[in-house]
Amino acid sequence: MLKIYGVYKSRATRVLWLMEELGAPFELVPVLQAYKLKDPMAADARLNTRSAGFLAVNPMGSIPTIEDDGLVLNESLAQTLYVARKHGGPIAPRDLIEEAQMLQWSLFAATSIETEALKISMANNEGRLATEAGQAEAKAVARILSRPFGVMEKHFSSNDYAVGGRFTVADINLGEVVRYAQAYQPLFDAHPKTAEWLARIQARPGFKAMWEKRLAEVE
């Protein structure tokens, strides 16, 4: 059975959403981010990203990590692509061309969107987005994101999904990165087709089930 190390309030949402879509069994091993603990190295500390037991699995000390039949993967986008490919079906690539397109969208999300989008997410989580300074920060980030968002806007103006005219793992990988910027509405107002696509995939039962568990998670 697939083993997932991590918690819902982390990048693990990517693979956890995928598992909801697949309806496949898995074992979740709760591993908390070390920065959330007062003393992550204490003898009675919860299993966390600095725990020796977890570092033996992932020397980088990052979550999520998956383990499947002896295979260990530490990068979340590689995890989702692997799991989708293994299970097959409509969520996975149908051929080499679709596989390349899904990989391209996943890397596009990681290299062109994630770093800047996370700045908006952090500002929102820390309450700064509600301040004038936070709004100015988000506006500056949105200017940087306007180019990759423009690429998505053009694509989603004539496509409901990222690849193949259907919901796939590419939508999960891209959507979970784009979500980091979701708290800054002006960016999405300026890119309505991208906003419609994000709303479409987040309306899926798989996303809702994952998100409900994330909201219920006690840290």
In the chain, % of residues over pLDDT 90: 99
Question: Cβ(196)–Cβ(202) under 8 Å?
Answer: no
Looking at 57, 87, 117, the residue that finishes a domain is 87
Q: In this structure, are 53 and 105 located in the same domain?
A: no
Q: Is residue 121 included in any domain, yes or no?
A: yes
Q: In this structure, are 107 and 71 located in the same domain?
A: no
Q: Is residue 51 included in any domain, yes or no?
A: yes
Looking at 87, 112, 143, the residue that finishes a domain is 87
What mean pLDDT is predicted for residues 151-163? 98
For residue 99, the model assigns a pLDDT of 98
Q: In this structure, are 6 and 57 located in the same domain?
A: yes
Angle at which helix 96-108 crosses helix 76-87, to 10 degrees, equals 160
For residue 218, the model assigns a pLDDT of 85
Nearest-angstrom CA–CA distance, 46 and 149: 39
Q: Is residue 107 included in any domain, yes or no?
A: yes
Q: In this structure, are 100 and 196 located in the same domain?
A: yes
Q: For all residues of the chain together, what is the average pLDDT?
A: 97
Residue 83 domain boundaries? 2-87
Domain at 163, CATH number: 1.20.1050.10
Domain total in the chain: 2
Nearest-angstrom CA–CA distance, 113 and 148: 7
Q: Is residue 186 included in any domain, yes or no?
A: yes
Q: In this structure, are 103 and 69 located in the same domain?
A: no
Q: Is the pTM of this model over 0.85?
A: yes
Looking at 69, 87, 105, the residue that finishes a domain is 87
What mean pLDDT is predicted for residues 84-92? 97
Q: In this structure, are 188 and 106 located in the same domain?
A: yes
Amino acid identity at 104: Q
Q: Is residue 159 included in any domain, yes or no?
A: yes
Q: Is residue 211 included in any domain, yes or no?
A: no
Predicted confidence (pLDDT) per residue in 26-53, tens digit: 999 999 999 999 999 999 999 999 999 9
Q: In this structure, are 172 and 140 located in the same domain?
A: yes
- pLDDT higher than threshold 90 for residue 136: yes
For residue 216, the model assigns a pLDDT of 96
